[in-house]
Amino acid sequence: MHSIALQELGINAVYLPFLISEDQLPHLLDAFYLTRVQGFNITLPFKEKIIPFLDTLSEEAKMLQSVNTVKKTEEGWKGYNTDGSGFIRSLAANDISVTGKKVLIIGAGGAAKSIAISIAMVGASEIIILNRSRDKADVLAAMISQISSSTPVSTSTPRAHKIDITINATSVGMKDDSSPLSDDLIKRSEQIIDIIYNPAQTTLLKQAAALSIPRMNGLDMLLYQGVEAFEIWTDRKAPVELMRKSLMASVYPC
Ligand code: ATR
């Protein structure tokens, strides 16, 4: 999606994948700095490990202690995190707002963390975090309370009836047809979001469809974290629809 967007805007650049090992990380950064590389994405398992080699961090990256986008600046390499902002933008693109909403997040890993924090920042009225390992949910809840003291956060199954938005931020449903949510919690949700994009229809989304609950998969989150990264690197508006088409063609080849 990046190379086609660069081409569309007439920018003489390409986006290339590099497979690296941890010991190569500082050398690669030096090599990139000496060449005309303007920026790059960094993914698992180096989102935290790259931080000591960067010169500055955006507020979001600092808060999350996790970086997925790096840009060459006059002050050196600057690290950003577009996962949370990309998630919020993907919601907006689908006419979903979390402001004033009661949000249930399943999971407490890296993805759940960026989602939970960004949701707190845009003013969710309440956040509930459920995770297989309860201690990790408690750590994330404490972090959110520190960042956004006005957002009530809990880590046990909610008793009240309605949940405005339920988000699966675990990998459950990616490799098999398991579902991370009980039927009861699915039925009580007004909107279900699965951050998994492959398969496009997880068991959770099929359960939501059977109950006619509005739902969305994770493709737009993937798209918009890329859109935000593209805009950071180029200081230009990204050709979103072209990027979406390109992404869909590679994620869902016929
Ligand atoms: P990511 O950075 O992609 O979020 P992660 O940090 O490994 O990946 O987090 C994966 C999340 O999925 C965690 O919340 C994990 O729960 P635990 O903290 O208990 O490990 C959750 N997860 C993964 N497999 C699961 C399963 N089979 N059942 C329930 N939760 C699962």
> What per-residue confidence (pLDDT) applies to 12?
97
Tell me if 104 is assigned to some domain.
yes
CATH of the domain at 63: 3.40.50.10860
Name the residue range of residue 127's domain: 96-217
> What per-residue confidence (pLDDT) applies to 136?
98
Residues 52-93 have pLDDT tens digits of: 999 999 999 999 999 999 999 999 999 999 999 999 999 999
Tell me if 86 is assigned to some domain.
no
34 shares its domain with 71: yes
41 shares its domain with 60: yes
33 shares its domain with 104: no
Q: Quote the mean pLDDT of the chain.
A: 96
- The gap from C-alpha 185 to its chain's centroid, in whole angstroms, comes to 23
230 shares its domain with 204: no
pTM value is: 0.95
CATH of the domain at 102: 3.40.50.720
135 shares its domain with 226: no
Closest alpha carbon to 104 in 143, 148, 153: 153
Number of domains the chain contains: 2
116 shares its domain with 14: no
Closest ligand 1 atom to 106 CA: 14
Which contiguous run of DSSP H or E holds residue 194?
strand 192-194
116 shares its domain with 224: no
Cβ-proximal residues to 104 (8 Å cutoff; 6+ apart), any chain = 128, 130, 158, 163, 165, 166, 167, 185, 189
Find out whether the beta carbon of 128 lies less than 6 Å from any atom of ligand 1: no
> What per-residue confidence (pLDDT) applies to 226?
98
Residues 203-239 have pLDDT tens digits of: 999 999 999 999 999 999 999 999 999 999 999 999 9
27 shares its domain with 66: yes
Tell me if 90 is assigned to some domain.
no
60 shares its domain with 116: no
Tell me if 107 is assigned to some domain.
yes
Tell me if 91 is assigned to some domain.
no
- The gap from C-alpha 16 to its chain's centroid, in whole angstroms, comes to 21
Find out whether the beta carbon of 172 lies less than 6 Å from any atom of ligand 1: yes
Is 135 a residue whose pLDDT tops 80? yes
Phi-psi region of 252 (alpha: psi -120 to 50; beta: other; left: phi over 0): beta
* Residues involved in catalysis: 47
> What per-residue confidence (pLDDT) applies to 36?
94
Which residue owns the Cα nearest ligand 1 atom 18? 133
CB atoms within 10 A of CB 125: 14
Is 158 a residue whose pLDDT tops 90? no
Tell me if 157 is assigned to some domain.
yes
Which contiguous run of DSSP H or E holds residue 57?
strand 56-57
Tell me if 87 is assigned to some domain.
no
Tell me if 11 is assigned to some domain.
yes
Provide the CB-side half-sphere exposure for 204 (13 A, CA): 34
Task: Quote the CA–CA distance of 9 and 31 in Å, as a whole number.
Answer: 26
157 shares its domain with 55: no
63 shares its domain with 105: no
Give residue 110 CA to ligand 1 midpoint distance, Å.
9
> What does DSSP assign to residue 14?
-
Task: Quote the CA–CA distance of 103 and 180 in Å, as a whole number.
Answer: 16
> What does DSSP assign to residue 23?
G
Is 196 a residue whose pLDDT tops 90? yes
Give residue 4 CA to ligand 1 midpoint distance, Å.
33
Closest ligand 1 atom to 136 CA: 18
Mutate which of 64, 81, 117, 132 for ligand 1 pocket (most atoms within 8 A of beta carbon): 132
119 shares its domain with 137: yes
Residue 17, preceding peptide bond in cis (omega within 30° of 0): no
